[in-house]
Amino acid sequence: MSDVTETTANSQSGIAEFEEGLGDPVLRRRARIWQGIFWVAMLGFLAAAPFFLYPVFVMQLLCFALFAAAFNLLIGFTGLLSFGHAAFFGGAAYIAGHVLKVWGFPPILGILTGTLFAAALGWLVGSLAIRRQGIYFAMITLALAQIVYFFALQMPFTGGEDGLQGIPRGHLLGIFNLNDPLAMYYFVAAVFLVGFLVIYRIIHSPFGQVLQAIRENEPRALSLGYNVDRFKLLAFVLSAALAGLAGSTKALVFQFASLTDAHWQMSGEVILMTLLGGMGTIFGPVVGAFIVVALQHALSGIGSWVQVVIGGTFIACVLLFRRGVVGELARLLRINSL
């Protein structure tokens, strides 16, 4: 695949429309104002949600939103399509579940262990996958994630088809009882916020700018003297670690780690969330995760028709709606970063 076509592809899809710092000051101010509005709305929702929505539902939303935001770091800001992110999400859930349940780790340490595991796994998978580009990258990550899935199925500690059940929530810092729904909720909200801020920081750092340069034109980034492979690998590890953070937190919330979390269909779902919300936008993955999870809840009565709906949404997004919800909104508001 020539790079010329890839570049046109990106600019048509809206991935490339992230050129903060360019354009006139009025536009920049407008972008800043709208970003501020989104921040306020998100923080307000985080604070108030458990009082008008079922807390477990919101916690599920937040875990998936963080997962999708982590995934977006790769697809949206580095231009790498990983089709195996469920391995980090699900793998971390199993590891966190195991150390919490069997080794009796306190919650924060358990989540950190899961996250570290995902980072290590991300380093392994990433260093293999970046040896090929484009479409091959996607196929390799999918195949490697399948190894993790088979491990989850066959290892003795994972509980096979039954999953890892009865993970204790424990006490946060030995003080707050996480079996209390509100305490658990605010802990999850805090984890989400920390993860989201880390991603925001990465995107806006010089490192993040280099990632976007690689996304736009890899040969040029290479010829400017950047060690492209190292940047890609680091982005992959960061994305995997944050996906692991989301997975470990989900295991703690539901007290359960299952094969579903590590299945390729989960990798597909996180792609859909990001695509639907808007690849390469800041708030898109969060919006996308909310839509997909809410859709799954609303349609839970119709059984496996959900899969048909999800598949149809996928097709519709790719054909008609490649900028995603937030991407389209940014275009309507004529700002280039939201």
Partner 1 sequence: MDPMIRLILAQGMLGLNNGVFYAMLSLGLAVIFGLLNVVNFAHGALYMLGAFLALIMYSYMGAWIGMSDLSIGFWPSLILAPILVGCFGMLIERFMLRRLYKLDPIYSLLLTFGVTLVLQGLFINFFNASGTPYPGMPESLRGVVNLGFMMFPKYRLFVIVFSILVCFIVWYVIERTRIGSRLRAGTENPELVKAFGINVPLMVMLTFGFGTGLAGLAGVLAAPIYSVSPLMGANLIIVIFAVVVIGGMGSIAGAVVTGFTLGLVEGITKVFYAPAANTVIFLLMVIVLLVRPNGLFGRQG
Binding interface with partner 1 (CB under 8 A) = 1, 5-6, 8-10, 12-13, 81, 128, 131-136, 138-140, 142-144, 146-147, 150, 154, 264-265, 268, 271, 275, 303-315, 317-319, 322
Measured from the CB of residue 313, what is the shortest distance to partner 1 in angstroms?
Answer: 8
Q: Please, which residue, 146 or 255, has the CB nearer to partner 1?
A: 146
Residue 70 or 125 with smaller CB distance to partner 1: 125
Name the DSSP letter for residue 169.
-
DSSP 195-211: HHHHHHHHHHSHHHHHH
CB of 108 to partner 1, least distance (A): 33
Q: Of 151 and 207, which CB lies nearer to partner 1 in the complex structure?
A: 151
| Closer to partner 1 by Cβ: residue 248 or 274 | 274
Contact assessment for residue 255 and residue 169, using Cβ atoms and an 8 Å cutoff: yes
Q: At 44, give phi and psi (nearest 5°).
A: -60, -45
b/e string for 155-164 if b means 16 or more Cβ within 10 A? eeebbeeebb
- How many other C-beta atoms lie within 10 A of the C-beta of residue 128? 13
| C-alpha separations of 110 from 198, 240, 316 in Å | 20, 17, 39
Cβ-based nearer residue to partner 1, 227 or 265: 265
Residue number, 69 or 275, with CB nearest to partner 1: 275
Cβ-based nearer residue to partner 1, 191 or 325: 325
The least CB distance from residue 305 to partner 1, in Å, is: 6
**Would you state the structure tokens that stand for residue 237, as one six-digit string?**
């590890």
Q: Tell me, what amino acid is at 124?
A: L
Between 131 and 204, CB nearer to partner 1? 131
CB of 205 to partner 1, least distance (A): 25
Taking the complex as a whole, how short is the minimal distance between the CB of residue 296 and partner 1, in angstroms? 13
For residue 256, the SS3 value is strand
Indicate the residue among 3 and 20 with the shorter CB distance to partner 1. Answer: 3
Residue 111's Cβ-side half-sphere holds a number of Cα atoms within 13 Å equal to: 24
Residue (of 17, 5, 118, 4) closest to 322 by Cα position: 17
* Nearest Cα to Cα of residue 185 among 41, 36, 38, 45: 45
Strand bridging mode 256-257 / 171-172: unpaired
Q: Minimum CB separation from partner 1 for residue 209, in Å?
A: 21
- What do you get for the CA distance between the two ends of the chain, in Å? 30
Residue length of the chain: 338
Cβ at position 76, least distance to partner 1 in Å = 12
Nearest approach in angstroms of CB 26 to partner 1 is 32
Whether the CA torsion 207, 211, 216, 220 is positive or negative: it is positive
Residue 74 and residue 237: Cα distance in Å, rounded? 10
Spatial distance between the Cα atoms of 47 and 148, rounded to a whole number of angstroms:
36
Cβ 109 to partner 1 shortest distance, Å: 31
Contact predicate 276/291, CB 8 Å? yes
